[in-house]
Chains A and B, each alone.
Chain A
Amino acid sequence: MRRRVAVTINGTKHEHEVEPRLLLVQYIRDVVGLTGTHVGCDTSNCGACTVELDGHSVKSCTVFAVQADGAQVTTIEGLAQGTTLHPLQQAFWDEHGLQCGFCTPGMIMAARQLLARNPNPSEQEIRVGLEGNLCRCTGYHNIVKSIQAAAKVMAPGAERKAPAPVS
């Protein structure tokens, strides 16, 4: 019954035999061992499990691992370059866009997609774009600010001042 899947996660190819019912999020967390992708619900509502699958952001609790066979997946662990944070990670840090941090990986992955589609979103566009991701700590205020700040840095033509490494 087990099926063989090959999934490239953050540039590294993984191959495993998995049960067909295994969710992608369980594959990423429990089989591959990347625990930055979180699980906050069982109804596709919270967005804590958001990852990028072949260029689209998906809720990885809603995708079976076997569906990702042959796919390219990016998780939160794939964003920083060495110790240099991705501009969104940096902006969430700078703008206090997180408290407990549990929603944060999913939030950042969703924001990344949002900015890919709309590099210069208005506040309202950001708020609507985040409807699929719940945060119970921040009231979203600083999450919106973080995404606005990141949008400035990431905008095409913006002077690319690489953020300093964390340590």
Chain B
Amino acid sequence: MAISQMVGASIKRREDPRLVTGTGSYVDDIPQTAVVHMHVIRSSEAHARILGIETGRAKEADGVIAILTGKDLKPEFGAPLPVTVCFVPDKKYPNHYPIAIDKVHYVGEPVAIVLATSRAAAEDAGERIEVKYQSLPAVLDIEKAIEKGAPILHEELGSNLSYDVKFAAGDMDAALKEADVTIKQRLIQQRLIPIAIEPRGVLADFKTFSNKLTVWSSTQIPHFVKVWLAVILGIPESNVRVVAPEVGGGFGSKIRVYPEEILTALASRRLGRPVKWIEDRNENVKATHHGRDQIWDVEIAAKKDGTVLGIRPTQWLNLGGYCSQFGTFQVLGMLVAQGAYKMKAFDGRAVGVFTNTTPTDAYRGAGRPEATYLIERVMDLVARETGIDPVEVRRKNFVRVEDQPFTTLLGLTYDSGDYTTTLNKALEMVDYKALRREQAEKRKQGKYLGIGLSTYIEICGLGPAAATQAAVGVSLWGMSVVNVHFTGKATVIIGSSPHGQGHETTYAQVASDVLGIPVEDIDVQHGDTAIGPMGMDTYGSRSTALDGNAVHVSATKVQEKARKIAAHLLEAAEGDVVYENGKAFVKGTPSKAVTIQEIAVAAFQTSRLPKGMEGGLEATTFFDPTNFVWPFGAHICVVEIDAETGATRILRYVAVDDCGTRINPMVVDGQLHGGIAQGIGQALFEEAVYDEAGQLRTGSLVDYLVPTASDLPSFELAATITPSPVNPLGTKGIGEAGTIASTPAVMNAIVDALEPFGVKDVSMPATPQKVWALMHRNGGTKR
């Protein structure tokens, strides 16, 4: 790589001027005339047969254009909603249509749509629709759902069990025999609601006489949506264009082909008019998928010196009412639950179950937070049981630098990583020894300080194509087009679809370094399926490792062509010409250079090109890396528990993260801040709760608590940089690392604070009530 100037620079984001002035365009901001508003009537029942839908009175209401039910629309579905393999090829799952046909399986499932001249008219008419249900017993609990005699959601499957599969290697029974210490623990991953601050929204415009469909959607995956709109609606894919305009956060919740994308498109095709649907928050909490909702049971075999010999985890996953598109992606947790540690045996089992709840799917981290919570709690449980400091237990079991590239028991190979160095740095930042002394002092005064560690690793950067095809069911790669214009400015088109990550800025930095074109002369375009060949979109912290590198490769191809053109213009041998900082010259004579601007002109004045060379200065890349990337780091959380109220206050939060090369460190830190906050949210505040009838009790932001500014501290961040060897930029991913790492750091700190009370585990969220009760369960006496 040429001397890097932009990669590594914290330049300000070019996205921001439009966003801070309120002039960015999210779906609901797109001007559109004669638009029809869609309102979705959703099931009020968790489990019921639809006996009939009475729409007569509603149809007469002011402004109503049409009312459509599942029965009306069924003939128009060329296929059900997609479900991908996601680590469980043989799972059982039902056909899932965008709207219920004769049965509903969760509260919030679409049962009818009202199309009207205004949103208010559609909602008013909706009040007049009567859906007759025959209620069926609902099942909400994972374990109850697979008991004999449980009500069955999808009769055609015979039971509520989707899959029960093993992920095992090594001899766990032998490990248990060899162990001095065995521990069994149940760890609950409560159900979470993603809550992107912009709810979802779709605007679909079908042009009847050209058979062309344009859909604007608040989605992370415009390219996937394009393919599936074509398949489900039976429109040639070449006639479908999907645009993700400004998207107000995703966190995994916008990574699915959603019913409303299909329904607005179908309605637009029927009416020959644009149709818009904007989700309100009350819908969002039920209609947009949830995350987590798993039980992990683990059995641990360890020696009294702290060596972990093996673990036997079982993951019970609540899939909800259907198997969502990436619903079993959470099983990835099983594949990476070994964490940063060596062990001899891993005996995993993953079970997936249907219940009458909103479907679950990817939510920031998707499987990796669960895995990290498991293994980082395991380390602390072993520490507690053996009486060894949690730092030492981690050191004892760490994969070392000299073990890299390390292959796990389940056969995944880490690309790189130096876990000891990040840990040491974090310990230094908090002054660990002094902290432990302070903790001991404070305990004497009846104050409960807790110190929690999380020395996480994570897998991201999905591709490689072959591995993801086998494991996930989709070939994942990065895509870019780099096009230098006549005047020497450039356009970069990418296959990722950012929604807050700043790709417009960071990818310009990448291209600028290779081409020597100033960043401000490079425009980065994304989120529109009409502008590039194809994309694999944005999720799983994949964009920079894939599409970022695709930009690098395309820019390098363009540079190579520019060098060839320059050689011709300079009448020099190709091998003698070098390209540096936007200029090409014969080695040793930089004063006689041709600039990229001059080369670009020649590229379009094609008679000036070498014989046989085509015009243009453009390259396209489908980048396929050789492995996944594996970021890692050490987070330390220091909490104080209020003995009176049980409330947890985070005193310090220190994070040392290594995501390889940092293209824009400011953006990387921002991703970490938000990620850490979301992980803290799971640890302390967030939980989706259903009542026995399957009604969501946490159905608004009044009841479902996402962290506010006053709930959080400022974060202390530091970095180590271990470039990934599997891509040319050396980048890894960072979008989810904060969330993956922080939940166990906080929970380990809380359990540590409560050590004097004999508390070995606290379930999430660690609400003041719960913590207070644990402190007082023996009448307040300490151990």
A4 to B130, CA, bound (A): 35
A139 to B679, CA, bound (A): 10
Structural contact, B196 and A136, CB atoms closer than 8 A:
yes
Q: Which of A14-46 contact B (CB under 8 A)?
A: 19, 21, 29, 33-43, 45-46
What's the minimum C-beta distance from A157 to chain B, rounded to whole angstroms?
Answer: 25
Residues in B whose Cβ lies below 8 Å from that of A100: 196-198, 246-249, 499-500
Which of B197, B248, B249, B678 has its CB near the most chain A CB atoms (within 10 A)?
Answer: B197
A108 to B195, CA, bound (A): 20
Task: Say yes or no: is B421 at the interface (Cβ < 8 Å to chain A).
Answer: no
Interface 9-residue window, one of B298-306, B383-391, B443-451, B700-708:
B700-708
Task: Say yes or no: is B280 at the interface (Cβ < 8 Å to chain A).
Answer: yes
Task: Say yes or no: is B78 at the interface (Cβ < 8 Å to chain A).
Answer: no
Interface 9-residue window, one of B11-19, B467-475, B751-759:
B11-19
Task: Say yes or no: is A13 at the interface (Cβ < 8 Å to chain B).
Answer: no
A101 touching B248 in the complex, CB below 8 Å, given contacts A85-B17, A92-B20: yes
A82 to B16, CA, bound (A): 16
Chain B 10-44 interface 0/1 with A at a Cβ cutoff of 8 Å (1 = within): 00110111011111111011010000000000000
Interface 9-residue window, one of A52-60, A62-70, A71-79:
A71-79
What's the minimum C-beta distance from A17 to chain B, rounded to whole angstroms?
Answer: 14
A89 touching B21 in the complex, CB below 8 Å, given contacts A39-B28, A127-B710, A136-B706: yes
Residues in A whose Cβ lies below 8 Å from that of B13: 93, 96
What's the minimum C-beta distance from A57 to chain B, rounded to whole angstroms?
Answer: 15
A167 to B21, CA, bound (A): 14
A105 to B198, CA, bound (A): 13
Structural contact, A96 and B670, CB atoms closer than 8 A:
yes
Residues in A whose Cβ lies below 8 Å from that of B676: 139
Structural contact, B670 and A130, CB atoms closer than 8 A:
no
Task: Say yes or no: is A99 at the interface (Cβ < 8 Å to chain B).
Answer: yes
Structural contact, A141 and B715, CB atoms closer than 8 A:
yes
Q: Which residue of A lies closest to B30 (CB)?
A: A35
A41 to B700, CA, bound (A): 8
Q: Which of A68-116 contact B (CB under 8 A)?
A: 75-77, 79-80, 85, 89, 92-94, 96, 98-105, 108
Task: Say yes or no: is B667 at the interface (Cβ < 8 Å to chain A).
Answer: yes
Q: Which residue of B lies closest to A91 (CB)?
A: B20
Structural contact, B248 and A93, CB atoms closer than 8 A:
no
Task: Say yes or no: is A7 at the interface (Cβ < 8 Å to chain B).
Answer: no
Task: Say yes or no: is A126 at the interface (Cβ < 8 Å to chain B).
Answer: yes
What's the minimum C-beta distance from A94 to chain B, rounded to whole angstroms?
Answer: 6
A37 to B26, CA, bound (A): 11
Q: Which residue of B lies closest to A19 (CB)?
A: B120
A126 to B280, CA, bound (A): 29
Count contacts on B: residues with CB < 8 A to the other chain: 57
What's the minimum C-beta distance from A137 to chain B, rounded to whole angstroms?
Answer: 5
Structural contact, B16 and A142, CB atoms closer than 8 A:
no
A77 to B666, CA, bound (A): 27
Q: Per a CB cutoff under 8 Å, which of A45, A75, A93, A130 touches B22?
A: A75
Task: Say yes or no: is A149 at the interface (Cβ < 8 Å to chain B).
Answer: no
A21 to B676, CA, bound (A): 40
Task: Say yes or no: is B673 at the interface (Cβ < 8 Å to chain A).
Answer: yes
A77 to B611, CA, bound (A): 55
A40 touching B667 in the complex, CB below 8 Å, given contacts A45-B701, A140-B677: no
Q: Per a CB cutoff under 8 Å, which of A21, A33, A77, A102 touches B198?
A: A102
Structural contact, B674 and A35, CB atoms closer than 8 A:
no
Structural contact, B714 and A38, CB atoms closer than 8 A:
no
Q: Per a CB cutoff under 8 Å, which of B21, B195, B280, B714 touches A79?
A: B21
A96 to B19, CA, bound (A): 12
Task: Say yes or no: is A154 at the interface (Cβ < 8 Å to chain B).
Answer: no
Task: Say yes or no: is B282 at the interface (Cβ < 8 Å to chain A).
Answer: yes
Structural contact, B20 and A98, CB atoms closer than 8 A:
yes
Residues in A whose Cβ lies below 8 Å from that of B24: 101
Residues in B whose Cβ lies below 8 Å from that of A94: 12
A85 to B23, CA, bound (A): 13
A151 to B153, CA, bound (A): 57
Q: Per a CB cutoff under 8 Å, which of A43, A80, A167 touches B281?
A: A43
What's the minimum C-beta distance from A130 to chain B, rounded to whole angstroms?
Answer: 4
Task: Say yes or no: is B219 at the interface (Cβ < 8 Å to chain A).
Answer: no
Which of B16, B22, B249, B500 has its CB near the most chain A CB atoms (within 10 A)?
Answer: B22
Q: Per a CB cutoff under 8 Å, which of B199, B700, B706, B708 touches A130?
A: B708
Chain B 227-254 interface 0/1 with A at a Cβ cutoff of 8 Å (1 = within): 0000000000000000000111101000
Task: Say yes or no: is B768 at the interface (Cβ < 8 Å to chain A).
Answer: no
A99 touching B501 in the complex, CB below 8 Å, given contacts A40-B199, A85-B20, A127-B710: yes
A123 to B499, CA, bound (A): 28
Task: Say yes or no: is B712 at the interface (Cβ < 8 Å to chain A).
Answer: yes
Residues in A whose Cβ lies below 8 Å from that of B670: 96, 99, 137-138, 142
Task: Say yes or no: is B434 at the interface (Cβ < 8 Å to chain A).
Answer: no
Residues in A whose Cβ lies below 8 Å from that of B20: 76, 85, 89, 92-93, 98, 101, 104-105, 108
Task: Say yes or no: is A144 at the interface (Cβ < 8 Å to chain B).
Answer: yes
A166 to B749, CA, bound (A): 45
A85 to B707, CA, bound (A): 29
A138 to B707, CA, bound (A): 11
Q: Per a CB cutoff under 8 Å, which of B17, B247, B502, B700 touches A43?
A: B700
What's the minimum C-beta distance from A100 to chain B, rounded to whole angstroms?
Answer: 3
A136 touching B195 in the complex, CB below 8 Å, given contacts A93-B13, A94-B12, A100-B247: yes
What's the minimum C-beta distance from A103 to chain B, rounded to whole angstroms?
Answer: 5
A76 to B17, CA, bound (A): 12
Residues in B whose Cβ lies below 8 Å from that of A42: 280-282, 700
Residues in A whose Cβ lies below 8 Å from that of B19: 98, 101, 104
Structural contact, B22 and A102, CB atoms closer than 8 A:
no
Residues in B whose Cβ lies below 8 Å from that of A48: 197
Which of A34, A38, A135, A140 has its CB near the most chain B CB atoms (within 10 A)?
Answer: A140
A39 to B26, CA, bound (A): 11
Q: Per a CB cutoff under 8 Å, which of B16, B28, B199, B669 touches A101?
A: B16
Structural contact, B709 and A144, CB atoms closer than 8 A:
yes
Structural contact, B249 and A93, CB atoms closer than 8 A:
no
A128 to B248, CA, bound (A): 24
Q: Which residue of A lies closest to B20 (CB)?
A: A89
What's the minimum C-beta distance from B523 to chain A, rounded to whole angstroms?
Answer: 14
Structural contact, B710 and A102, CB atoms closer than 8 A:
no
Structural contact, B715 and A139, CB atoms closer than 8 A:
yes
Q: Which residue of A lies closest to B714 (CB)?
A: A141
Which of B199, B671, B701 has its CB near the most chain A CB atoms (within 10 A)?
Answer: B701
Residues in A whose Cβ lies below 8 Å from that of B12: 93-94, 96
Q: Which 7 A-B pairs have the closest CB atoms?
A: A36-B22, A102-B248, A101-B19, A139-B677, A100-B500, A99-B500, A76-B22
Q: List 19 A-B contacts (CB under 8 A).
A: A38-B26, A38-B248, A40-B199, A42-B700, A76-B22, A94-B12, A96-B670, A99-B501, A100-B196, A100-B248, A102-B26, A102-B196, A102-B249, A103-B197, A104-B19, A128-B709, A135-B197, A137-B674, A139-B676
A99-B249, A127-B708 known; 14 new pairs, CB 8 Å cut-off, are A21-B120, A40-B198, A45-B700, A93-B13, A98-B16, A101-B16, A127-B710, A135-B197, A135-B709, A137-B249, A138-B674, A138-B677, A140-B709, A141-B677
